[in-house]
Amino acid sequence: MKVYYASVQRRHDPSFEVEDGGERSAYFESPARVESILKALREIVWAEVSEPADYGLAPIRAVHADGYLEFLRTVWDEWLATRDVSAAPTQDAGFLPATFVLRRQVAHLPRSLLGRAGYYMMDLSAVIVEGTYDASLASANSALAAAQAIGGNDSGSAFALSRPPGHHAGRDYAAGYCYINNAAVAAQWLSSRGKVAILDIDYHAGNGMQDIFYQRADVLTISLHADPSEEYPYYAGYADEVGAGEGTGFHRNFPLPAGTEDAEYLRTLDQALELLQRFAPSHLIVSLGLDIHENDPLGQFKITSDGILSIGKRISSLRLPTAIIMEGGYNTADLGANVASFLSAFERE
């Protein structure tokens, strides 16, 4: 299996985030996640890790607003320029706004950096540091390389070790460790070749994916996740959100309760896969979030490692050209082995 990853993705390395209640803590979405996955993949013969090509900004601009991308490109340097020149950023510096927009009330985009930051950033986990923009571009390129690898095939699969992840990033905002929506960029690129389905199995609802494709009928988006009335992102991911306009019926959420175990998850997955098969896509994108695992510090599902393999086997049984894009998963002790197990389900005779 082709695996795509660029070392520049390590450059996004915030030292902190702000958790619920205002507590400052170590950043869960760390480069150690990548090290765990790469270590596991390098121990198996069928994983071929390659550097992705640079696909330029055009595929990313097809998904994200130009103003937002320009903000990501310039925010770090602009922030440094506003600081006392004698006060160099400390090792644990990171940029976050203190004010966030109520989007339904917005009529104007502020000129000030902090005002724009509150418009383009949803929460306090999408910390921006010097390497964030370059790492995010490379992460999207990894997803595009996986999409290209399956784009001309009738079957087969590829894996993008995308980091930072992407499924919380909307058309014009960063959120939940995500800056560029890697899976959405890949899906948009593949949509010129036929219908595309996105299956998001991350513990948290893919609000960014929902935002981007909510009014489209050529891309089916399905998300299995924790109940958003209790879990992040709180304001999207409900079962009655089914698309709008031409996209009505082409988005489906399957919220699940805390404590969900293998059997219940697999029953729900079977329902999602029936919808997917009826849609009959030419290509499949899997947003692979392994924070569903029972030992993950940011999830409350009880999915075992055997359950993760079973999930992979059910999805693989569709025998669709499949690009698997890495999303969440924060228990680095188990993450690499779980990724390798999931991917092994796609190794075909």
Axis crossing angle, helix 66-82 with helix 132-151, rounded to the nearest 10: 160
What is the distance between the alpha carbons of residues 319 and 314, in angstroms, rounded to a whole number?
A: 10
Alpha helices (H) in 83-181, listed in sequence order: 113-120, 132-151
Q: How many helices (H) and strands (E) does the chain have?
A: 10, 10
Cα 83 from chain centre: 32
Catalytic machinery residues? 168
What is the distance between the alpha carbons of residues 200 and 203, in angstroms, rounded to a whole number?
A: 9
How many other C-beta atoms lie within 10 A of the C-beta of residue 94? 21
> Rounded to the nearest 10 degrees, how much is the dihedral formed by the CA atoms of 65, 161, 31, 87?
-20
> 3-class secondary structure for 164-183?
CCCCCCECCEEECCECCCHH
What is the distance between the alpha carbons of residues 232 and 205, in angstroms, rounded to a whole number?
A: 7
Q: How many CA atoms lie within 13 A of 57 on its CB side?
A: 11
